[in-house]
């Protein structure tokens, strides 16, 4: 079945969506082009996946302001799309930094989210947590993986000089040795035709996620949370770094995927699907 595609206008940002599958609705925040490529076809037979853009993946209007990219504005967009599509209490899904968006949405609109799924998200992007990621990288990684990383990252500056409008994509691709268990994996097809609104992405990853405190507001949020992490993920703080914040959650399930890095829904799709569906069933 072909995806149902559309878009809504939010302050002149045209936010696209793509709907696939049937069943319990899962609202996946990020890029409606990139993220459908990372979830299995099998999962679409069990749930309905609703992939939505945020402002970091669509062109900005000519007079866009920095305030247009605040996390609070992004969350309002998510709610606007949910209302537009008439979805009642979906599962809110966010991968990497978008995991913060999923969690913060559930805090802000707790009656409009049934569950939260965070995939490959660290407790924050603050310097202390990124230091733990770097320490894990230095102490746990074989020389061959490190050599691959240094070879690739040395080419990043020329990538950005050549196509500055694709800086986010270039960074993700050059970080491949930190973000995929198979450090030779070519992720470029996943990014084909994905737009980068760099002011928004720079603000979100460079400021909002560095300052975020995931524990704030958790005492009032009763929505169950599933946290999926990859054993070989060297791009965010390691699994152990969640220890200090776990007691603040009302209902948190953590699953570490042993053969994955930053994208377990793709790297171990069969196991990921089974674990996710099992968890959703147990929390229904």
Share of the chain above pLDDT 90, in %: 97
Examine the pLDDT at 118 and tell me if it is beyond 80. Answer: yes
The active-site residue, picked from 10, 262, 269, 273, is: 262
105: burial class by Cβ within 10 Å (0-12, 13-18, 19+)?
buried
CB 215 within 8 A of CB 245: yes
Enumerate the domain spans of the chain. 4-125+195-282, 131-189
H/E element holding 28?
strand 24-30
The active-site residue, picked from 10, 31, 32, 96, is: 96
Cα separation, 242 vs 103, whole angstroms = 15
Distances (CA, A) of 6 to 73, 89, 135: 20, 20, 43
pLDDT tier for residue 1 given thresholds of 50, 70 and 90:
confident
11 counts as catalytic: no
- CATH number listed for the domain at residues 4-125+195-282: 3.40.50.1820
Q: What does the pLDDT look like over 219-236, one tens digit per residue? A: 899 999 999 999 999 999
Cα separation, 4 vs 259, whole angstroms = 33
**For 16-33, b where at least 16 C-beta lie within 10 A, e where not — what string?**
bbbbbbeebbbbbbbbbb
Pair type for strands 47-53 and 115-119: unpaired
Examine the pLDDT at 193 and tell me if it is beyond 90. Answer: yes
**148: which DSSP letter?**
H
241 counts as catalytic: no
Task: State the chain's mean pLDDT as an integer.
Answer: 96
251 counts as catalytic: no
């Amino acid at each position: 079945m072909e995806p149902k595609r559309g878009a809504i206008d939010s302050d002149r940002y045209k936010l696209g969506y793509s709907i696939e599958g049937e069943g319990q609705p899962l609202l996946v925040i990020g890029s409606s082009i990139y993220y459908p490529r990372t979830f299995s076809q099998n999962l679409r037979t069990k749930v309905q996946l609703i992939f939505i853009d945020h402002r970091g993946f669509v062109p900005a209007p000519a007079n866009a302001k920095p305030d247009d990219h605040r996390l609070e504005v992004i969350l309002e967009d998510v709610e606007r799309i949910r209302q537009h599509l008439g979805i009642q209490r979906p599962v809110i899904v966010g991968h990497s930094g978008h995991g913060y968006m999923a969690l913060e949405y559930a805090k802000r609109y707790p009656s409009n989210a049934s569950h939260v799924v965070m995939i490959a998200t660290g407790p924050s992007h603050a310097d202390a947590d990124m230091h733990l990621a770097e320490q894990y990288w230095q102490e746990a990684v074989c020389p061959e993986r490190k050599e691959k990383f240094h070879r690739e990252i040395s080419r990043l500056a020329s990538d950005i000089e050549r196509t500055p409008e694709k800086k986010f994509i270039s960074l993700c691709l050059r970080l491949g040795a930190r973000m995929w268990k198979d450090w030779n994996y070519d992720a470029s097809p996943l990014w084909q035709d994905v737009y980068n609104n760099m002011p928004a992405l720079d603000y979100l990853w460079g400021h909002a996620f560095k300052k975020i405190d995931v524990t704030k507001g958790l005492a009032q949020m009763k929505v169950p949370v599933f946290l999926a992490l990859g054993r070989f993920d060297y791009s965010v703080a390691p699994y152990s770094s969640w220890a200090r914040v776990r007691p603040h959650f009302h209902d948190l399930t953590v699953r570490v995927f042993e053969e994955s890095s930053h994208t377990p829904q793709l790297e171990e799709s069969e196991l990921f699907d089974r674990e996710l569906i099992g968890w959703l069933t147990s929390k229904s």
